Structure formats: structure tokens, C-alpha cells
């Protein structure tokens, strides 16, 4: 089998599934080809740990299942996991020196559910350290490079996941989104990614950053491939306290997302040549201010016109507290990080300093040596806002602003629109090292994604064009109300049926 990128051989997971099901291709043959491709593109630095024996064992098991008949939906499909999901066999490092040689005794729920669906893992993907970053430059193992321009960032923190999919090394990958870390790298790498409603996907086995914000989701080339992963990933997990409990009338039941997609698709088909007839698209005026690059604004505007041609109605809305999302998030998330990362003390597991005088000195030295500058920066901010005398002034105030931001979204959905659309990032991908002297600049680039995360809403990014001065991908953000992932994916699929931005690959515009 030729060592070609997977997307040049199979345009979708469905096409790959048909080839595997017919016997025209074996999962083992496919896995070997993908492993060769990963080795050939090592310069991207997308993968942190590859173990051919583990991968090929999974592939052989998939072949046996395929031969026996009744194989699960993802049998033999090559994927990879962001290195904040713990895995048996592969190292689980969170791209940090603190966990550089850690191997978990169990799999994260996301990992085990996709394995149960038959997916074959190719390994662990690079990311920002403990998922803290917007460019995948904070990894202790070095930055990931954007397949469209190796001097540009792929976005973060799920940059390895996005780069691997964009380069055709995997059909899809897992990611996590705390403040935009699925949507942003998907946008900057010209592919699709979705963050579901908070609590839809189990967080068990996800190395925590901000517990009230972290949510897992898939990254793939287009909406239908996202559906193939998100549906089996989702559902109640009794071992995760933040998982939404399932009951007879609970919207988080198994198969809910696919059912929502199918229902929305049926409505679109009944509408004929204007499949999105009557869909109200809210366009926030705050998303198109002075900080948005003209070429990004132009690409998003063209996408909105494409939706109008499909029957959708554009409605101008206001999300008046958009700018407050940045200070609110960068109080709440660091506070939660300070609490979550306190477990790395050099005593039980993780990095321990070789030189110390007593227990307090050991903990201090171990944490300083084990955490990189960005992690230390956020832990210090979080510790400060949680300290006596500042908790009420900062943390509680930020939580009040969070509720106001969520209410702004709910008012928009209740009174004006069915979905909200706008840019994902203010500009196309910056060059690696651009913000080295001003790390806070990366925080400001999250302005369009943070509000969604604070509200716990589902949102996704789909490619919608390219920049003018720097011909790099631009992403369109599509935001929905709670538990509308299936409908969001159907709306995105309709757009992708009418356009070809998601089919563009590195080397072509």
C-alpha cells in the first residue's frame, strides 16, 4: 500500500469503512502504512509516542472482527489521542516534564469507548503543556508545526491532533477544549472540530486543567467524520462526577447525537434546493470589531453568504459581555489549574528533584523543575486569586460574570436565532515564536471562543477560506444551544456539501 496521506486515499471514514468491510483493504495493512507516514512526517512533531506493536495488535484484532462480521462502526479506522488522555501502554505525559515517563494503569473513558467502537490507535499526540496554550508552543517536547506552513503554529492546545489530521496521518483524533483548544487548532489547520455541551463526554482519565471547563471532542476533516467519533464518545459515565446523568428523558442518552443529526438531515432534504430554509443565524456585532483581521472577516462574510444562499436568515445580535470573557476565563481557569496541579508534588508520582533539603524544599524544587513557564504563570495567577482577601474580589466576581455571559447566549437563542456564527480566531496562524516576548498576547486571541466555554455550550469550527497576505486557513465558528450537537453537525455538513474548503489539503489553496 502506498505511503500516501490517508485523506488522499479515503475522503471519509465512511469510504474507509467500505474498503475495510469489503476486504479490499486490511486494518493491519492500513496501520502499517499510517505508521510509515508518521515516520515520514516526523518533522511536524505531531506525535509524542508511537508503539508499532501496540498499534498492530489492535489492527489485527480489528481484522479478526471484520472477518467474523458484525464489526463495530470504527473497526480498523486509524485515529490518535491527544496526550492528556491517559492510556495503557503508551506514555501519558501531558507534554510536560512533570509526567515525562508516566504510564497509566488504565485507559481514559474516551480512549476505551473508541477502542470498543473498533478504532485503532496510532499513538499519542503533542499538545501544549497540561493543555495550557494557544499555539502548541509550550510543550516540553517542542512545538508542533502547521502542515500548511512549517514556520507557523497549528493552534493549541490540541495542535498535534489538528496537525496530524490536516497532514493525513490519521482519519481523526481526539482533542480537549477548555477555552477553544479544539476549535482554534481546527481553524488554523483548515479542518473541522467540535466541542460538545459540557458534561456530554466523560472526563475520566483526562488530565485536568480546568475542571468546570475541560471537555473532550473529536477533530477530523469534515462534519460527518466528527459524527462518527462524537457519537460513541458521548454518554453518561457513572465514574465521572461531571458527566451528565442519563435517564429516560435525559438528552444525553446513547445515540442522541446521531439521532439529532439524522433528524436535521431529514428536514434539510424535505426543503429541497434550500435545505436550510428558515434557519436563523445570529451574527454577534461584537465579533466583528477592530481586532478582527480584514481577510478573516472577508472569509467569514463569504461563508455567511453561502449559508444565506442555502436558505438561512442572517440576524444581527449582541453578546454584550464578549470582552469580559477574557478576564473571567483567565481568573477561573488558572484558579482551577492551581487546585488541579497541586497533586504534582514530587511525592507520589511525577517528577522529583534530585536535590532538596526537606519535604517543603522537595515539593518546591520538583514543581519548579517539572512545570514549564506557562504552567507556572497560570498556577501563580490561580493561587493569587484564590488566596485570602482576593477570593471574593476576583474569583467570585468572575463566576458572576460567567453567569451573565451564559445568560447573554440564552437570551439570543430564546429571542433571535437558532445558531450563532462568527470567526474562531482574530487572524490566521502566527509564526512560531511571534509572541515569545509577550505571552499574554496569546490569551487575547481566544476572545471568540472563551464565552462559549464559560457557558458550557456546544460549538464547532469548519474551514471557510484562506487569508490574503498569508494564505493560511480561516475557520468559521458555529455555536448552538445545549445538546444540539447533532443539529450543528448537520448544518456544517450542509455547508460542506456546497463548498470544498474542507477538501483542501496542505500545498493547495
Residues 384/435, Cβ–Cβ less than 8 Å: no
C-alpha 217/C-alpha 200 separation (Å) is 9
Of 100-114, 170-184, 186-200, 428-442, the least confident: 428-442
* Distance from C-alpha of 315 to C-alpha of 102, rounded to nearest angstrom: 50
pLDDT in tens, 387-416: 988 999 999 999 999 999 999 999 999 999
Q: Are 489 and 218 in contact (CB under 8 A)?
A: no
CA distance 438 to 498: 40
pLDDT at 248: 47
For the segment 370-379, the average pLDDT, to the nearest whole number, is 96
Whole-number Cα distances in Å, 279 to 85, 110, 489:
37, 32, 14
Given the residues 82, 124, 195, 430, the one annotated as active site: 82
pLDDT in tens, 291-308: 999 999 999 999 999 999
Confidence (pLDDT) at 246: 58
Q: Is 22 a catalytic residue?
A: no
pLDDT digits (tens, 9 = 90+) for 409-450: 999 999 999 999 999 999 999 999 998 778 778 888 899 999
33, 104, 157, 243: which is the annotated catalytic residue?
A: 157
> Over the stretch 47-80, which tens digit does the pLDDT of each residue have?
999 999 999 999 999 999 999 998 999 999 999 9
Determine whether 181 is an active site residue: yes
Domains of the chain and CATH, by start: 45-52+72-501 (3.90.1300.10)
- Measure the CA–CA gap between 26 and 92, rounded to whole angstroms: 29
CA-based nearest residue to 229, from 208, 252, 198, 201: 201
Catalytic residue among 121, 139, 181, 461: 181
The mean predicted confidence, pLDDT, of the chain is 95
Q: Is 342 a catalytic residue?
A: no
Answer yes or no: is pLDDT of 255 > 90. no
Give me the pLDDT at residue 4, please.
Answer: 58
Task: State residue 326 phi and psi, 5-degree precision.
Answer: -65, -55
**pLDDT greater than 60 at residue 250:** no
- CA-atom Rg of the chain in angstroms: 22
Amino acid at each position: 500500500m502506498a505511503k500516501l496521506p490517508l485523506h488522499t486515499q479515503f475522503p471519509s471514514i465512511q469510504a474507509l469503512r467500505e474498503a475495510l468491510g469489503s476486504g479490499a483493504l486490511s486494518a493491519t495493512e492500513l496501520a502499517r502504512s499510517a505508521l510509515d507516514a508518521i515516520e515520514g512526517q516526523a518533522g511536524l512533531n505531531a506525535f509524542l509516542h508511537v508503539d508499532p506493536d501496540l498499534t498492530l495488535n489492535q489492527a489485527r484484532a480489528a481484522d479478526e472482527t471484520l472477518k467474523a462480521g458484525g464489526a463495530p462502526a470504527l473497526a480498523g479506522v486509524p485515529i490518535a489521542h491527544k496526550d492528556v488522555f491517559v492510556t495503557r501502554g503508551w506514555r501519558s505525559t501531558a507534554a510536560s516534564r512533570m509526567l515525562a515517563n508516566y504510564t497509566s494503569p488504565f485507559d481514559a473513558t474516551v480512549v476505551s469507548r473508541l477502542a470498543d467502537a473498533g478504532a485503532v490507535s496510532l499513538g499519542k499526540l503533542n499538545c501544549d503543556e497540561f493543555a495550557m496554550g494557544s499555539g502548541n508552543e509550550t510543550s516540553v517536547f517542542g512545538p508542533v508545526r502547521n502542515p500548511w506552513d512549517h514556520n507557523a503554529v497549528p493552534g493549541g492546545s490540541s495542535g498535534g491532533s489538528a496537525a496530524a489530521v490536516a497532514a493525513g496521518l490519521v482519519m481523526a483524533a481526539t482533542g480537549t477544549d477548555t477555552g477553544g483548544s479544539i476549535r482554534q487548532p481546527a481553524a488554523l489547520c483548515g479542518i473541522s472540530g467540535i466541542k460538545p455541551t459540557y458534561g456530554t463526554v466523560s472526563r475520566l482519565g483526562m488530565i485536568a486543567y480546568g475542571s468546570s471547563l475541560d471537555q473532550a471532542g473529536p477533530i477530523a476533516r469534515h462534519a460527518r467524520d466528527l459524527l462518527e467519533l462524537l457519537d460513541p464518545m458521548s454518554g453518561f459515565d457513572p465514574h465521572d462526577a461531571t458527566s451528565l446523568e442519563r435517564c429516560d428523558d435525559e438528552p444525553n442518552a446513547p445515540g442522541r447525537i446521531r439521532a439529532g443529526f439524522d433528524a436535521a438531515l431529514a428536514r434539510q432534504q424535505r426543503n429541497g434546493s434550500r435545505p436550510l430554509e428558515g434557519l436563523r443565524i445570529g451574527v454577534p456585532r461584537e465579533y466583528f470589531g477592530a481586532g478582527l483581521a480584514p481577510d478573516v472577516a472577508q472569509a467569514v462574510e463569504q461563508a455567511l453568504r453561502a449559508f444565506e444562499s442555502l436558505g438561512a436568515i442572517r440576524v444581527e445580535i449582541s453578546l454584550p459581555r464578549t470582552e469580559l470573557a477574557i478576564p473571567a476565563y483567565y481568573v477561573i481557569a488558572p484558579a482551577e489549574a492551581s487546585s488541579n496541579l497541586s497533586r504534582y508534588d514530587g511525592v507520589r508520582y511525577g517528577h522529583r528533584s534530585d536535590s532538596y533539603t526537606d519535604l517543603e524544599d522537595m515539593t518546591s524544587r520538583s514543581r519548579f523543575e517539572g512545570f514549564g513557564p506557562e504552567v507556572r504563570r497560570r498556577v501563580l495567577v490561580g493561587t493569587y486569586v484564590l488566596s485570602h482577601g482576593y477570593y471574593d474580589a476576583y474569583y467570585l466576581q468572575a463566576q458572576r460574570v460567567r453567569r451573565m455571559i451564559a445568560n447573554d447566549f440564552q437570551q439570543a437563542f430564546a429571542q433571535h436565532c437558532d445558531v450563532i456564527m462568527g470567526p474562531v480566531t482574530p487572524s490566521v496562524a502566527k509564526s512560531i515564536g511571534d509572541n515569545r516576548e509577550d505571552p499574554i498576547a496569546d490569551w487575547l486571541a481566544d476572545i471568540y471562543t472563551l464565552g462559549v466555554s464559560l457557558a458550557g455550550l456546544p460549538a464547532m469550527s469548519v474551514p471557510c477560506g484562506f487569508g490574503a497576505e498569508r494564505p493560511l486557513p480561516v475557520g468559521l465558528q458555529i455555536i448552538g444551544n445545549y445538546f444540539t450537537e447533532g443539529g450543528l453537525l448537520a448544518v456544517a455538513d450542509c455547508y460542506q456539501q456546497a463548498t470544498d474548503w474542507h477538501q483542501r489539503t496542505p500545498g493547495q489553496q
